[in-house]
Amino acid sequence: MKVAFFSAKPYDRVFFDRFNINSDVVIQYYETHLGPHIINAIADVFAVCVFVNDKLTAPVIEVLAAKGVKLIALRCAGFNNVDLDAAKKYGIRVCRVPAYSPEAVAEHAVAMLLTLNRKTHKAYNRVREQNFSLTGLLGFNLHGKTVGVIGTGKIGKAFCKIMLGFGCSVIAYDIYPHDDLQQGGVTYTALDTLFEQADIVSLHCPLTPDNHYMINAATLSKMKKGVVLINTSRGGLVCTTDIIDGLKNRQVGALGIDVYEQEEKLFFRDLSENIIEDDTIQRLMSFPNVLVTAHQAFFTEEALSEIAQITLGSIYHFLNGTEPAAAVVLV
């Protein structure tokens, strides 16, 4: 049985081929993302396996259904790129990987925070040029600072625990607070209180229609001057033009983003020989206090192994007519 695998990278093949042994599944890898340009090439396919920037809109899903596709297997946690109502309407099942090493993402958020604060990226380059000066590398202690965490699910929780270990005071906002975190020393607050009190704000909630651009000019104005903002969640949570204004007027002291609202045109590709037409990302990258990574927070051995095993497990279940664990099934 064939599975069409979109946005395939060499490392995807390594992990999926490693775990797809002794099965009837033949994986057909496509480097391109899934969209209207490729959809007519799909034939005799049981499932499509997709990633964060494949766009599963209603028209795309309608064509998939007409071609007999039975399953959309997301090899990621977020599913804002899939029209679930359309999938339901056309009788296509949708599964995802709800959790794969949340620590991978949490640790990357911490890496971004430490890099921005202690400027290790600049120090690395400086010392290689035999410049041993410290001027311009001044940071601040994380110990004793207030960290505001928005979204305390699997990743947010892992992030909270690391920050508590640093001796930070951790405040959090979630539409469903978690008792165990409160017992562990995290204080839940209203969102506005978090904005007002936090020295560092880290986003760990999913992107939904309700929280699109939750970080915007109005919410930035409620934050402490010089706030450090970290987003490893989804680009659409942040209004990038408002953030640029915030950086220019020093309201935002530093910004670390692993996700960007227009990332599908840029990320996961080597564009070093190209002219980048996106002026917004170019402006962002021109700030000395902005760190952009290209959606790599999940990118560890452990996470890729789990992603491959869980995704393949779900595909095998659906192929055999059995139901995978409820947590992986979206539709």
Q: Annotated catalytic residue: which of 261, 263, 264, 306?
A: 263
Maximum CA pair distance of the chain? 65
Binding to ligand NAI (CB under 6 A): which residues in 156-215?
Answer: 156, 173-176, 204-208, 210-211
> What is the Cα Rg of the chain in Å?
21
Q: Could you confirm whether 143 is annotated as catalytic?
A: no
CA angle 131–229–260, rounded 5-degree value: 95
Nearest residue to ligand NAI, scored by beta-carbon proximity: 153
Indicate the residue type of 28: Q
Please work out the total of residues on this chain that contact ligand NAI, with binding judged by CB under 6 A.
31
Scanning the structure block, which residue is given the tokens 């599944």?
A: 25
Instruction: Please tell me which residue in 33, 96, 108, 234 is annotated as part of the active site.
Output: 234
> Among residues 258, 261, 263, 306, which is the contact residue for ligand NAI, using CB under 6 A?
258
Output the smallest distance, CB 105 to ligand NAI, in A.
5
Mapped onto helix, strand or coil, the DSSP state of residue 331 is: coil
Token pair 């339901």: residue? 88
Distance in Å, CB of 170 to ligand NAI, minimum: 15
- Establish whether 301 is a catalytic residue: no
Give the closest residue to 74 by CA, choosing from 320, 265, 329: 329
In the list 259, 281, 307, 328, the residue contacting ligand NAI (rule: CB under 6 A) is 259
Q: Could you identify the residue written with the tokens 């033009």? A: 241
User: Which parts of the chain are beta strand (E)?
Assistant: 2-5, 26-29, 45-50, 71-74, 93-95, 146-150, 169-173, 187-188, 200-203, 227-231, 252-257, 290-292
For the question of residue 263 being annotated catalytic, the response is yes
Q: Between residues 42 and 54, which has the closer beta carbon with respect to ligand NAI?
A: 54
Q: Which amino acid is at 95?
A: C
The pair of structure tokens assigned to 120 is 């290790």
State yes or no: residue 238 binds ligand NAI (CB under 6 A). Answer: no
What residues are annotated to the active site? 234, 263, 295
In the complex, the residues that contact ligand NAI under the rule CB under 6 A are 77-78, 99, 102, 105, 150-156, 173-176, 204-208, 210-211, 232-234, 258-259, 295, 297-298
